[in-house]
A = this chain, B = another copy of it.
Amino acid sequence: MHTIATRSAPGSKGQETAKRVRMAALKRFAGAGYAAVSMREIAADVGVRPGALYNHFPTKQDILKDLMLTHMADLLTAWDTARFPEAMDPLERFVRFHIRYHLERADEVFISYMELRNLEPDNFEIIEAERRRYEAILTSILHEGSAAGRYSVDDPKVATRAIIAMLTGIPTWYREGGHLGEHDVEDLYLTMVRKAVASETRNFQTETG
- On A, residues with C-beta under 8 Å from B are 31-33, 35-36, 114, 117-118, 154-155, 158-159, 161-166, 168-170, 172-173, 180, 185, 188-189, 191-193, 195-198, 200-201
Count of chain copies: 4
Q: How far is the CB of A192 from chain B (nearest CB, A)?
A: 4
Task: Tell me if B114 and A158 are in contact (CB < 8 A).
Answer: no
Task: Tell me if A118 and B195 are in contact (CB < 8 A).
Answer: no
Q: How far is the CB of A176 from chain B (nearest CB, A)?
A: 16
Which of B163, B166, B189, B201 has a CB less than 8 Å from the CB of A200? B201
Task: Tell me if B36 and A162 are in contact (CB < 8 A).
Answer: no
Q: Which residues of B contact A168 (CB under 8 A)?
A: 165
Name A155's closest neighbour in chain B (CB-CB). B188
Listed by A's residue number, 14 A-B pairs whose Cβ atoms lie within 8 Å are A35-B36, A159-B192, A161-B169, A162-B166, A162-B188, A162-B189, A164-B169, A165-B165, A165-B169, A166-B169, A192-B197, A193-B196, A195-B198, A201-B201
Max chain B C-beta neighbours (<10 A), residue from A32, A117, A195, A197 = A195
Max chain B C-beta neighbours (<10 A), residue from A158, A172, A180 = A158
Task: Tell me if A173 and B161 are in contact (CB < 8 A).
Answer: yes
Task: Tell me if A196 and B192 are in contact (CB < 8 A).
Answer: yes
Q: How far is the CB of A63 from chain B (nearest CB, A)?
A: 16
Task: Tell me if A188 and B154 are in contact (CB < 8 A).
Answer: yes
Task: Tell me if B158 and A36 are in contact (CB < 8 A).
Answer: no
Q: Which residues of B contact A118 (CB under 8 A)?
A: 33, 36
Which of B158, B170, B185 has a CB less than 8 Å from the CB of A180? B158
Task: Tell me if A117 and B201 are in contact (CB < 8 A).
Answer: no
Q: How far is the CB of A29 from chain B (nearest CB, A)?
A: 11
